[in-house]
Structures are given as C-alpha cells and as structure tokens.
C-alpha cells in the first residue's frame, strides 16, 4: 500500500511540474511602447533579441505569460543600457505600476509579450 502512495505522489509531483511549465510559457518576442516626453511622441518597438533606439539599447532576456489562479499577466525581463547606466528589470503589461525603470526623457511600458 505504501508503494502505491509513493507512486501516486511521484505522479502528482511530476504532473504539477509539467503543468507549471505549460502555464509559464516562454516567448522570444516583445513589444514596447516608448513615450518621448521631450517631443510628446510615441514609438512602438518590436524585437526578439536586441534593439537600438536612439541612445538606448534594449536586450530581451526573458518573456513569459504568467497565469496564477485568476491573475493573468505578461512579463518581460529586459536589459536597458544607456551610456554607462545599465538597468535590468521586469516589465509587466497589466500591472504597469510595478515597472521600475525611470528616465527623464523616456517612459517605457510593455504592450505585448
């Protein structure tokens, strides 16, 4: 009987790992919306690895769809380089207030992942 319980627990554990990997699918393409505060212009960037926009360099590290109970969001881990300043952080599509990047000229938000 213990053998069956152990087998059942192993199957349930492997099953939960498999479904967790399905729910957090990784995507290799992202779209950003950049607002230039100095000229009040909007730019939409779509890239998969790296992208150069004026003096900013973007590098996509990871992009994931997140599903947790009723919470659905898209998140991208992006590296932003400007001269000697380097920022590495998560950008969220629906919870924009969690985006921590601040710049005097540009406001950056995730539009798709």
What range defines the domain where residue 39 resides?
A: 25-112
Q: What's the pLDDT at 42? A: 94
Global pTM reads 0.69
Within-domain flag for 82: yes
Residue of higher predicted confidence among 77 and 19: 77
Q: What is the pLDDT of residue 57?
A: 92
For the chain, give the DSSP string: -HHHHHHHHHHHHHHHHHHHHHHS-B-S-EEEEEEETTTTEEEEEEESSEEEETTEEEEEEEEEEEEETTEEEEEEEEEEEETTEEEEEEEESS-GGG-----SSEEEEEEE-
Number of domains in the chain: 1
pLDDT per residue over 19-70, tens digit each?
444 445 556 788 999 999 888 899 999 888 888 988 889 998 888 888 877 7
- Is 13 part of any domain? no
What helix, strand, coil percent values describe the chain, rounded to 5? 20, 50, 25
Structural domain contains residue 101: yes
pLDDT at 22: 46
């Amino acid at each position: 009987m213990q053998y069956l319980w152990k087998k059942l627990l192993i199957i349930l554990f492997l099953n939960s790992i498999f479904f967790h990997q399905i729910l957090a699918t990784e995507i290799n393409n992202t779209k950003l919306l950049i607002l230039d505060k100095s000229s009040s212009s909007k730019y939409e960037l779509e890239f998969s690895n790296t992208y150069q926009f004026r003096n900013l360099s973007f590098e996509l590290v990871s992009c994931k769809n997140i599903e947790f109970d009723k919470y659905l969001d898209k998140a991208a881990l992006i590296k932003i380089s400007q001269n000697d300043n380097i920022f590495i952080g998560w950008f969220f599509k629906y919870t924009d207030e969690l985006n921590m990047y601040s710049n005097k000229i540009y406001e950056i938000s995730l539009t798709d992942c």
